[in-house]
Amino acid sequence: MSLKQRIQDDMKTAMKARDQDRLLTIRMLLAAMKQKEVDERVELDDAAVVAITDKLVKQRKDSIEAYLSAGRKDLADKEQAEMIILQGYMPKAADPSEIEAVIEQAVRDAGPIGPAAMGKVMAQVKAALAGRADLSAVSQQVKARLSR
């Protein structure tokens, strides 16, 4: 079963269970997916659905920080609940040893080591770890590895 189909099935389940919070979050995700399909005239695969979900999770994290700094814990709690639901559709997070192995393989494949190889290495790492790791932190690891 594709991720898109699983999300649609979960929406039906939430409707039957009258779980309004979950239903609204899933509908928001489906709307973002549909918007992408209409804008680009494509059928989304699992990787594209994960990318959309990851973007929505990042938006929730940013909103939580903004609401907490403004003293709006009630809105931050709502965003936190949405983020938890969305994270249920993300692939299992990569562990540090797996991230290190992907970086090492990408460095070997990139050829000459140095700061100029950053783009090649990050392209390969991004493809391997999309949605499974914080790519900004991984970028820092790659930069440190290439400067050795």
pLDDT in tens, 59-114: 999 999 999 999 999 999 999 999 999 999 998 888 888 888 888 888 888 777 77
Domain that holds residue 109: 96-146
Q: Tell whether 61 and 116 lie within a shared domain.
A: no
Q: Which domain-ending residue is among 38, 69, 87?
A: 87
Q: Tell whether 119 and 77 lie within a shared domain.
A: no
Q: Tell whether 38 and 73 lie within a shared domain.
A: yes
Contact 73, 67 (CB under 8 A): yes
The answer to pTM > 0.95 is no
- Which amino acid is located at 53 in the chain? T
Number of domains in the chain: 2
What lies within 8 Å, CB to CB, of 32 at 6+ separation is 52, 55, 56
Q: Tell whether 67 and 31 lie within a shared domain.
A: yes
Q: Tell whether 10 and 72 lie within a shared domain.
A: yes
- H helices of 18-134, in order, are 20-40, 46-69, 73-87, 96-110, 118-129
d(CA 95, CA 56): 22
